[in-house]
Each structure stands twice: as C-alpha cells, then as structure tokens.
C-alpha cells in the first residue's frame, strides 16, 4: 500500500473522483495552473483540461455561488477556498442557498458541492490565515462538516463528500498537510511517507461520513478531539500515563453520538479538545450532549481545552494552541474530581 502525505491523499481523492465522474469539476483561486497554494490540485488541470479544473477571480462569494448554480443543474463542484479565514464573504451563499436549496425546492434541486478549506494554525499565518471556523458551520442545518486527521481518512472522507448529494464543508488541518504531528512540536516531525498513518489505498475507497474512530483504547477518561488535536491528546495521555480513550470524531455533522455515549458511559469522564476559541466553540455542543446522555455515569465535570478567546496571535501561536501540558492538566483534573 503506498504512503502519502495528506496533500497527496487529497489530490488522489479529487483525481479519482474526476476520473470516475465527468460531472466533478474543480475550481478556486490558483487551483488550476498553479495547483493551489498548498499544491493539493497540482496536475489536475493538465490531466482534465481547463473546463474541469480552472482558476477563478479572487472572490469567495463568486466561487461558492457559481458552485451552487452548477450543482443545481447537475454538476458536482469541489471548490477550494484558499484559507478558511477567507470564507466569510461566501458565508451567506453557503447558509442561505447551499444548505437550504433541497428544503426550499421540496427536493426538486439539490446541492452536491464540497467546499475545501485549509483550516487551523501551524504555519505562523497570524489572524487571517489560522482560524478554525468549524462551529460557524455546525450551527447550520443542511450542511455536513468534516475534519480529517490523517491521509487515509482525508482521502476516504473527501471521496465520500464528493459523492454525497448534499453540501459538505471539508476542513483540512494545514498543520498536518506534510506530516504527522506528535503533539510536542510546532512542525511535523516525520513525513507521512514514513508513518503508518500515511498508508493509503491508491484506488477508490470511502470512509463514511458520520462515523468516529477510536484512535486509542482506554478505560479512565474519554477524550473527544478532531484534526490536529488528536495528536495533542495522544501526547498528553502518554505524558500523564492516564489510560485515556481518544476518539477522533472525523465528522462533526453528522456526529457519531453513539460512539461518544458508549465511550463516556464506559469511562465516566470526558475531556474535549479543539483548537478553536472556547466560547460557543463546538466543544460546548459536545459537552451538552455528553451531559444530556451520560449524566448518571459521569464521575467528574466535562472538561474543555481549547484556544483562547482572543484574536489569533502571531508570535505566540504555540501558546495559543492547546498543548500536551494543558490537555494533561485537564486529564488529571478529571481523574482527581
């Protein structure tokens, strides 16, 4: 089985989808000739031509609006917003049109689009290249929201998203693009090509949307995480020696609530970790669900470890992230409560 970086896995998913279905089109800022700012679409224009993989003006509203119109008339656009921070001009199109067109038309029209976005920090991009806006989309009925943590999941989930009949927001943790993250370092320490999680089937396969994965078995406390924070949670569990069960949510909408309930009822404790800000972050919804469904099994309050409620810092980026020390402290508090 070949080994891939997450970038290569995403490119492979798009390539296979375009090859299998002539209705799949790819476009966005610099995605055609240049292959995208992170090179996720490199070579696709040369292979499929300028009518199926093309560059657009610098207009996120235009990119997503065009994709919605194409989807309503039978195409399957997979578009790139260059950074998740740039999606806000397109937010009205996503919320008011893409998410609602099936319901507004009583099923006469659907919107099978994928909006890919590099998300989160890790490249010292500052306030306008490092945001994690997933909670803005999990609030919207009619959307699906995906955050992969490794190349295999990235490929399988992206193929599932492209084949899905409804709009999918696909958030790609840019800190994981070129290598696994052991939770301790600012940069990936080993290329995915030499890491077991980098093993990716070269052909067509799917990872179902709405299914979490238990990344680490444990019996003392459940950790809910996604994207880069999966590796931070693993590092914290190793450092503290606490027998933590780590669940990689993979899909935030639809959410695998059954997997969460099963784990928390087993461990009796829960810590939630995400990179986005604390207030109104997706962790608040997770905490509410855990309390609602596992109240009588909880032995300690549900903990949250997140980014700070501040504009995204540049020079203090690593202090902003939930690191193994902060996650480890939360695990200890959960065990001592």
Q: Which tens digits make up the pLDDT trace of 245-255?
A: 999 999 999 99
Is 203 within a domain?
no
Specify which residues 173 forms β-bridges with. 119
Mark whether 190 and 314 lie in a shared domain.
Answer: no
- Enter the tokens of residue 76: 């399957």
Domain range for 57 is: 6-198
Mark whether 128 and 12 lie in a shared domain.
Answer: yes
CB neighbour list of residue 52: distance below 8 Å, 6 or more residues apart: 18, 22, 24, 25, 26, 44
For residue 146, the model assigns a pLDDT of 98
Whether 127 contacts 307, CB under 8 Å? no
| Tens-digit pLDDT string for the chain (337 aa) | 888 999 999 999 999 999 999 999 999 999 999 999 999 999 999 999 999 999 999 999 999 999 999 999 999 999 999 999 999 999 999 999 999 999 999 999 999 999 999 999 877 777 888 899 999 999 999 999 999 999 999 999 999 999 999 999 999 999 899 876 655 555 555 555 556 678 899 999 999 999 999 999 999 999 999 999 999 999 999 999 999 999 999 999 999 999 999 999 999 999 999 999 999 999 999 999 999 999 999 999 999 999 999 887 767 777 788 989 999 999 999 999 8
Q: Which one of 198, 223, 244 terminates a domain?
A: 198
Specify the CATH number for the domain of residue 236: 3.40.50.920
How many Å is the Cα radius of gyration of the chain? 19
Mark whether 179 and 291 lie in a shared domain.
Answer: no
Is 116 within a domain?
yes
DSSP code per residue over 93-136 = IIIIIITTHHHHTTTS-----EEEEEES-SS--GGGS----HHH
Q: Does residue 129 have an active-site annotation?
A: yes
For residue 185, the model assigns a pLDDT of 59
Mark whether 49 and 141 lie in a shared domain.
Answer: yes
The model carries a pTM of: 0.95
Is 272 within a domain?
yes
For residue 126, the model assigns a pLDDT of 76
Let me know the angle formed at the C-alpha of 21 by 16 and 23, rounded to the nearest 5 degrees: 125
From 129, 139, 204, 314, active-site residue = 129
Mark whether 148 and 15 lie in a shared domain.
Answer: yes
Q: Which one of 151, 172, 198 terminates a domain?
A: 198
Q: Which one of 173, 198, 223 terminates a domain?
A: 198
Q: Give the count of domains, the chain.
A: 2
For residue 102, the model assigns a pLDDT of 96
For residue 178, the model assigns a pLDDT of 87
Let me know the angle formed at the C-alpha of 91 by 21 and 94, rounded to the nearest 5 degrees: 35
Number of C-alpha atoms within 13 angstroms, CB side, residue 289? 19
Is 184 within a domain?
yes
Q: Given the structure tokens 């480890």, which residue do they identify?
A: 328
Specify the CATH number for the domain of residue 48: 3.40.50.970
Whether 63 contacts 81, CB under 8 Å? yes
For residue 303, the model assigns a pLDDT of 98
Mark whether 226 and 192 lie in a shared domain.
Answer: no
Mark whether 176 and 236 lie in a shared domain.
Answer: no
Mark whether 249 and 186 lie in a shared domain.
Answer: no
Is 300 within a domain?
yes
Mark whether 316 and 254 lie in a shared domain.
Answer: yes
Q: Where are the alpha helices (DSSP H) in 201-268?
A: 229-240, 257-267
Mark whether 266 and 319 lie in a shared domain.
Answer: yes
Whether 297 contacts 265, CB under 8 Å? yes
Is 208 within a domain?
no
Is 34 within a domain?
yes
Mark whether 154 and 303 lie in a shared domain.
Answer: no
Q: How far is CA 212 from CA 183, 246, 250, in A?
A: 20, 10, 6
Whether 111 contacts 167, CB under 8 Å? yes
Mark whether 264 and 120 lie in a shared domain.
Answer: no
Q: What is the pLDDT of residues 126-171, one digit of tens each?
A: 788 889 999 999 999 999 999 999 999 999 999 999 999 999 999 9
For residue 184, the model assigns a pLDDT of 59
Is 236 within a domain?
yes
């Amino acid at each position: 089985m070949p080994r891939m970086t997450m970038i290569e896995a995403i490119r492979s998913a798009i390539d296979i989808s375009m090859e299998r279905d002539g209705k799949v089109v790819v476009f966005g800022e610099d995605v055609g000739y240049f292959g995208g700012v992170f090179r996720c679409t490199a070579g696709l224009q040369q292979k499929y031509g300028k009518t199926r993989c093309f560059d657009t003006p610098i207009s996120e509203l235009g990119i997503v609006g065009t994709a919605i119109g194409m989807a309503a008339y039978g195409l399957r656009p997979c578009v790139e917003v260059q950074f998740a921070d740039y999606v806000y001009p397109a937010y009205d199109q996503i919320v008011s049109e893409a998410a609602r067109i099936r319901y507004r038309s009583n099923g006469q029209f659907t919107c099978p689009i994928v909006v890919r976005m590099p998300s989160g920090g890790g490249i010292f991009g500052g306030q306008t290249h490092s945001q994690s806006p997933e909670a803005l989309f999990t609030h919207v009925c009619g959307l699906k929201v995906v955050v992969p943590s490794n190349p295999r999941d990235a490929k399988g989930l992206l193929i599932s998203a492209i084949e899905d009949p409804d709009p999918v927001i696909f958030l790609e943790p840019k800190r994981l693009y070129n290598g696994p993250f052991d939770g301790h370092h600012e940069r990936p320490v080993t290329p995915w090509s030499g890491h077991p999680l980098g093993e990716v089937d070269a052909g067509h396969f799917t990872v179902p949307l709405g299914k979490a994965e238990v990344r680490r078995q444990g019996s003392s406390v459940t950790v809910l995480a996604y994207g880069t924070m999966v590796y931070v949670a693993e590092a914290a569990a190793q450092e503290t020696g606490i027998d933590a069960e780590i669940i990689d949510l993979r899909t935030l909408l639809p959410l695998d609530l059954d997997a969460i309930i099963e784990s928390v009822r087993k461990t009796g404790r829960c810590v939630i970790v995400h990179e986005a800000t604390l207030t109104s972050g997706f962790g608040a919804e997770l905490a509410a669900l855990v309390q609602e469904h596992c109240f009588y099994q909880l032995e300690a309050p549900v903990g949250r470890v997140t980014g700070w409620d501040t504009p995204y810092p540049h020079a203090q980026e690593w202090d902003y992230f939930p690191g193994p020390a902060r996650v480890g402290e939360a695990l200890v508090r959960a065990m001592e409560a």
